[in-house]
Structure 1
Amino acid sequence: MSTDKNGNSLPYLASPMANRIPSSRAITRPGFEVTAIKSKFSGEIPESRTTWSSKIGRMAPGKWTKFDERSLKKHVLKATKTQKTDWKKIRKGKAEKNEKKLLKLKEKFEQKIKQEVEPVPPDLSRPYSVSIAVPGSFLNNAQCPELRTYVCGEIARAATLFCVNEIVIYDETCKMTDDSINSYWSGKWNADVFPSPSNYEGCFHLARILEYLECPSYLRKHLYPVQRVLKHVGLLHPLDANHHLKSDDFSLDFREGIILNKPVQEGKGSICNIGLDKDFQLDTETPLPAGTRITVHIRNLNDAQKRYRGTLSSPAEVQKRTGIYWGYTIRLAKSLEHAIDRQKYDVIVGVQEENSKPIRKFETCILNRPKILLVFGGVDSLNAAIERDEGMEAKSAEEVFDQIVFGLEAKGARHVRTEESVLMTLSQMKKMFLQRILVVGRAFRLGQTSNVLAKSNFQRGFVTTSLRLQKADGEKTLVDAAVQTTKSPRKKRHWLKLFSVSTVLIAAGAYVGYLFTPDWREIVDSKHYYSNWQIRVYLSLPFNVVSRFAGRVANWEIPVWMRQSILGTFARAYGCKMDEAVISDLKEYPTFQAFFNRQLRPECRPISASPLVSPADGVVLHYGKVEEERIEYVKGHDYDVATFIGEPYHKRNKELDLYQLVIYLAPGNYHSFHSPARWKADQMIHVPGLLLSVRPSLLSQVPHLFCLNERVVLNGEWKHGFFSMTAVAATNVGDIVIEAEPKLRTNVSRRKTEKIAASISPIHVPYLPGDRVGDFRLGSTIVLVFEAPPTIKFAIQAGDSLRYGQSLVVDGV
């Protein structure tokens, strides 16, 4: 019992009271001071410090006082000095927590903005993936290590060219074990044993060479030490794959690298070698050992920093973001059964010659981004590998594979090697993959199906597909549907096709109407008859446009080294006599125009003393007297003189008759024309028109042809009266040059209304026999119309070949 100052006894405080101090309802008596209590800050109070400086006595009810919690804390802090609170540390901790919360909110806000601003990049990877499975036993036929290495290089090259994702190497003898595969991948395998039919070393040889070739050159010394199996790989052609980047190639942000054994600070990523001038450091710490090959994404490729920085990536991510093929992977399988995984591959295709069909008849499943496995046989067929595999229930290739194809329908050798079959099959299948693999997940909403088989045939941009659907309840239905790869291109093609067909039909209708509509020449001159549709078709051909183009070509300069061959071929084809030209060397003629208008040696063309000589080299088509002012150029076909020469003809002397002479210039002839007599030209008339051919074989088909073609008429007088010389243009001979009128322009584009309008120009040019009058471009026709006495006798016959300066008459002139 305790006592107060007066010695009165006080009851001892019960344990609940002592254990609950401090409390908001702690009670005491006025005037007493608590010196030591149980504090909530310091825990249990030691006995040595638990004392009372005053004693609490029994008080009358109602005289107890309640202390609030704040007052009690104040008294407690004053009464005990066991532990002090570090308020600075508490405030600092709260500030750090608030700062962390703000940083987290800021990061969430930035990520949200980034997702809203930056769209999700599209998937650029291929709509399918291809894997190939080859047996390692096909290396047994190689006679030497060099040949084995070469065959492996062919497989690697084909896989890279046609973007194979995975190469599965299986043992068709079924002797390989899991321990041997683990030994290979752990680096314990060595190439001391050569491949033979009694072992499965060919699989490991093939895998190691394929791995080495797929690896970029700057990583090979880190990953592959010197070993016998890689002795001859230097003889192979490099793969030059997309991920084999050179040290100066900065075109891609992705590269292959290897983790180096270099110390790094805590919390920072590993240092890697990526084949550039500087090392690469990962942004985050990665628990990968040194010597591990990785794919990285560089984010500061063009920054001038000490190291490149970025993140880890993968070949699949590279293909998805860039659409670039990023190499193949190697997988070893101890048998054909382990190479074929139905859960991993959607379509499994066997490639062998027996019981196969051509690749063009290939049938495949239609799935979203299908994974296709092509299985090739080795020395023996696939059936032999199936028989050796005791774990397979199937006994034939037809039961194992979805399809069996062969890439060569007709061969000239007894056998096709495996590496040849791989190359042929991949080359044919790639085009088929791009065309015939369809995505029907979005096109058909047919519910849950367990089997979808399709046979596709491409027909003009869309695929007609037969789908055999087996539903969950076992009911089988046959659905024929036209599956279109993309709807918008088909719609565009439909409108384009409709527009093209409509345009062709309208143009054809307009052309047929033109053929049976009266021509403007028929309206102007009723004597011309063009109602024959065959003649109308011939007249509608664009000879003027073709002739203008030929004129431009004739002015193009020919390279010196080509002149001999081009001009020599033309000269031999048309019988041009270059020994008569002043310049016989073909290399001295820069253009066809210069060649056509070459100057001849005077001794080769002497001018006759006759009053009428030939104006050009050519062939006589027709000559004789003009009856009733109509010129007959071939038998049964004539034309009016006034229409041809461009002005009315009036006979000036009744004792004289009117004669005509038509000379045709072939393409091989000398293309200048000269004066045929002593006469004076007083008038030049240019008559625009067509540029139809004037070959003798066509003159009888088109009536009044000379009146239709463009021509230049020189009218004047000679000693007997009227004299006219006309140069008629023809196809490819639209350019006519008259030396007396240098401003003359022929074969130019004109409106149809201007084609019948003739231009008359007065000139006063006297000519002597043999004087140069003008030039043609290619061949054409010269027509002479003149008055002469009835006693004139011609010294020529129709069909005779003439040379300019040769006499045309015997006497009587």
Structure 2
Amino acid sequence: MDDDVSFNIVRSLKRPKEAKKQKEKNNSKRIKSQKSDPPKPAKKENDVSLVQLLKEIPQRIPFQGKPTKTTFSVALPVSLVQNIQTDELRAYIIGSIARTLTIYGIHEVILYNDIGEEGYEWQEYFAVNLRFLETPQYLRRYMFPLSDELRNTGLQNPLDAPHHLRSNEWLPYREGVIKLEPKGGTSKSGSLAVYAECGLFGRIEINNPKALKELYGTDLFCLDDAEEEVYQRVTVRLDASSLNECKRRWMEQKRGIYNAHETTLSGSLVAPDEPQCMAGLYWGYVVREVDRYNAVFEGCPFNQNGTYDFKIGTSERGDIYPKDVKVPKFDHLLMVLGPVQGLESIVENPQENVDAYVNFCYNQRSRTIRTEEALTICLSQFFAHYSI
């Protein structure tokens, strides 16, 4: 016992000396490394790194996930809106569908015609309303002229998606429009500045106007009619100085100071999927229309070969999820919903077109489930057991 005590005393006396030597050794290493490290290149004023972008995202923005290129697509039948009794109720249900797509972060909705010639009119109505709802409010007057299809939009609830920003809110990314010009203006293109309207306190001057063709496939000078007003929707990433100006204005408004003075900002055009791929932000859905059921499985807009690597068909006759269905890792998933009578009423063997034929509501008590109800059930059940 005495030996143990004496050993502890001796060891405790040695510790301060050893610690001092180790500290001096570490300091000498740090000094050497500081001398040998090459100088870092000067950072440009408007450079915005990914780390800085993520720090600039306010906490009030809806769910910010991890950066990913994975997509989720949903296919819906046009007969869904035909079966609704009134125009007012039809508009409201489409609004609820758009909110469901946004809540679960769906990237593409495909509308397929399942009722023949009569279906094309309903398909157009369905698509216009979905696109209108997905477009930020401050851009709708540029993108959607007055029409009968949109006469009941006042009954539709807003999506409140991350890209639906108000003028006093800021993010590194923002949706905007660029006004396209007549073809005769090409000779002046070298000296003409390009601006995007993004619903802020000033226009955004585009630093890389050539990207309009590269990213969106549109020439700035492409109109045949000089009196025609056509706008191209774009995604803009603000540069550092413009982002700071947005933050400053936001802080002023929080203190009750309202500055009506307009300021020209600057930024760069980026691909529409960059907010999700780089910052993990959900950035809305695209609408695709097809004239037949089989065309649903072709033309995926997210890859070069136009295919989905995992396809799910939904039916009360399918395998029970998640008990009997295992979802593999995927890049682009497609979930196909049928009309009230089911996918079996469209094709003879719907199982042949998909990788999994699934029943997401195996204990239903009603004889039928409407498609808009099935959409919510299927997505809620899927994401309860799987995360993108």
| TM-score, normalised relative to structure 2 | 0.68
Aligned equivalents of 1:268, 1:284: Cα separation in 2: 12
CA distance in 1 between partners of 2:317 and 2:90 (Å): 26
Query: Is 1:364 the counterpart of 2:330 in the alignment?
Result: no
Aligned partners of 1:378, 1:111: CA distance in 2, in Å?
A: 61
CA distance in 2, matches of 1:309, 1:428: 43
Structure-2 residue corresponding to 1:426: 379
CA distance, structure 2, for counterparts of residue 127 and residue 430 of structure 1: 17
Identify the residue that residue 311 of structure 1 maps to in structure 2. Answer: 268
Change (3 A) 1:321 1:150: same
Give deviations 1:523-554, integer Å, cap 9, x for gaps: xxxxxxxxxxxxxxxxxxxxxxxxxxxxxxxx
In structure 2, the CA distance between the partners of 1:336 and 1:266, relative to structure 1 (3 Å rule), is same
Computed over aligned residues only, the root mean square deviation of the Cα atoms, in angstroms, reads 3.0
| Residue of structure 1 aligned with 2:284, choices 294, 310, 327 | 327
SS of equivalent residue, structure 1 residue 353: strand
Q: Secondary structure of the equivalent of 2:361?
A: coil
- State how far apart, in whole Å, the 2-side matches of 1:127 and 1:320 are: 5
Contact 2:180 2:220 in 1 (8 A): no
Which residue number in structure 2 is paired with residue 131 of structure 1? 73
The amino acid of 1:227's aligned partner reads S
**Structure number with higher helix proportion:** 2
Matched, 1:348 2:288: no
Letter in structure 2 aligned against 1:296? V
| 1:257 matched to 2:176 | yes
1:161 is aligned to: 103
Asked whether the equivalents of residues 254 and 318 of structure 1 are also in contact (C-alpha less than 8 Å), the reply is yes
| 2:264 corresponds to 1:296 | no
Q: Report the Cα offset of residue 113 of structure 1.
A: 7.5
Q: Secondary structure at the match of 2:377?
A: helix
Separation in structure 2 between the aligned mates of residue 423 and residue 167 of structure 1, nearest angstrom: 14
Q: Distance in 1 between matches of 2:263 and 2:120?
A: 49
In structure 2, C-alpha distance between the alignment counterparts of 1:245 and 1:173, rounded to whole Å = 38
User: Which residue identity is paired with 1:336?
Assistant: Y
1:788-808, CA deviations, whole angstroms, 9 ceiling, x for partnerless residues?
xxxxxxxxxxxxxxxxxxxxx
**Does residue 380 of structure 1 match 2:371?**
no
Taking structure 1 as reference, are residues 120 and 242 closer, same or farther at Cα in structure 2, changes over 3 Å only? closer
- Counterpart amino acid of residue 232 in structure 1: N
CA contact (8 A) 1:274 1:280 kept: yes
1:421-478 per-position Cα deviation (integer Å, ceiling 9, x unaligned)? 11111111123222xx8xxxxxxxxxxxxxxxxxxxxxxxxxxxxxxxxxxxxxxxxx
Are 1:284 and 2:208 matched, yes or no?
A: yes
User: Residues of 2 paired with 1:308 and 1:322: CA distance?
Assistant: 22
* Deviation digits for residues 67-103 of structure 1 (CA, Å, limit 9, x no counterpart): xxxxxxxxxxxxxxxxxxxxxxxxxxxxxxxxxxxxx
Tell me, in whole angstroms, the C-alpha distance in 1 between the residues paired with 2:48 and 2:136: 33
SS, match of residue 345 in structure 1: coil
1:350 maps to a residue whose letter is: G
Identity score, percent: 29
* Residues 112/316 of structure 1: CA separation in 2 closer, same or farther (3 Å cut): farther
Q: Give the aligned residue type for 2:94.
A: C
Say yes or no: does 1:209 pair with 2:129.
yes
Q: 1:111, 1:202 → 2: CA distance?
A: 60
Offset from partner CA, 1:333-378 (integer Å, 9 cap, x none): 11111111385211010012124423443223334xx211000001
Task: Judge conservation of contact 2:96–2:157 (CA < 8 Å) in 1.
Answer: no
Q: Show the counterpart of 1:413.
A: 366
Q: CA deviation at 1:257?
A: 0.6
1:675-754 mapped onto 2 (5 Å cutoff): none
Q: Is the 8 A contact 1:359 1:406 kept in 2?
A: no
User: What is the distance in 2 between the residues matched to 1:350 and 1:321?
Assistant: 31
1:243 aligns with 2:177: no
1:793-812 correspondence runs (5 A): none
Partner of 1:632: none
Structure number with greater Rg is 1
> 1:139 deviation in Å?
1.1
Q: Deviations over 1:288-322 (max 9, x none)?
A: 36511111011122249841111101231111221
Which letter does structure 2 place at the counterpart of 1:292? Q
Does the aligned pair in 1 maintain the 2:316–2:362 contact within 8 Å? no
The answer to whether the Cα contact below 8 Å between 2:113 and 2:119 also exists between their aligned partners in 1 is no
One-letter amino acid of the counterpart of residue 311, structure 2: I
Q: Per-residue displacement from partner, 1:115-142 (whole Å, max 9, x unpaired)? A: 9x99876994246321000011111111
The answer to whether the 8 Å contact 1:268/1:284 transfers is no
Check the 8 A contact 1:318/1:324 in 2, yes or no.
Answer: yes
| 8 Å CA contact retained: 1:255, 1:295 | yes
Change (3 A) 1:127 1:308: closer
**CA distance in 2: counterparts of 1:346 and 1:161, whole angstroms:** 23
Kept in 2, the 8 Å contact 1:137–1:200? The answer is no
Q: Distance in 2 between matches of 1:405 and 1:222?
A: 41
- In the other structure, the counterpart of 2:147 is 227
CA distance in 1, matches of 2:361, 2:191: 59
More strand by share: 1
C-alpha displacement at 1:384, in angstroms? 2.2
Q: Give the secondary structure class of the aligned counterpart of 1:275.
A: coil
- Over 3 Å counting, the alpha-carbon distance change for 1:248 and 1:382 in structure 2 is same
Q: Secondary structure at the match of 1:354?
A: strand
Alpha carbons 2:208, 2:269 under 8 Å: kept: no
The amino acid across from 1:429 in the alignment is F
**Cα distance in 1 between the residues matched to 2:156 and 2:322:** 30
Aligned residue type for 1:416: I
The whole-number CA distance in structure 1 between the counterparts of 2:49 and 2:150 is 47
Query: Structure 1 counterpart of 2:244, which letter?
Result: N
Q: Structure 1 residue 260: deviation in Å?
A: 3.4
For residue 585 of structure 1, what is the aligned residue in structure 2?
none
CA contact (8 A) 1:268 1:282 kept: no
Equivalenced residue count is 292
Report the CA distance between 1:165 and its aligned residue. 0.5
Q: Greater relative contact order: 1 or 2 (C-alpha under 8 angstroms, separation 6 or more)?
A: 2
* Change in 2 beyond 3 A, CA 1:303/1:153: closer
1:138-190 CA distances to partner (integer Å, 9 max, x unpaired)?
11111110111112112101100000010011112455xxxxxxxxxxxxxxx
In structure 2, what is the equivalent of residue 506 of structure 1? none
4+ long deviations beyond 4 Å: 110-115, 117-123, 261-265
* Correspondence for 2:251: none
**Residues 1:407 and 1:285: Cα distance change in structure 2 (over 3 Å):** same
Q: C-alpha separation between the residues in 1 aligned to 2:154 and 2:196?
A: 26
Structure 1 position 282, deviation (Å): 0.5
> 1:355·1:404 contact (CA, 8 Å) conserved in 2?
yes
Deviation per CA, 1:356-409, whole angstroms, max 9, x where unpaired? 423443223334xx21100000133212222xxxxxxxx401211111112212
Deviation of 1:261 (Å): 6.2
- Cα distance in structure 2, aligned partners of 1:207 and 1:360: 35
The residue correspondences of 1:367-516 to structure 2 (distance < 5 A) are 367=330, 370-386=331-347, 395-434=348-387
Shift of 1:281: 1.2
Q: Distance in 2 between matches of 1:308 and 1:265?
A: 20
1:249 partner amino acid? E
8 A contact 2:134–2:285 mirrored in 1 = yes
Residue ranges of structure 1 left out of the alignment (5+ in a row): 1-109, 176-197, 387-394, 438-813
Question: Aligned-pair distance for 1:267?
Answer: 3.5
| Cα separation, 2, equivalents of 1:302 and 1:118 | 11
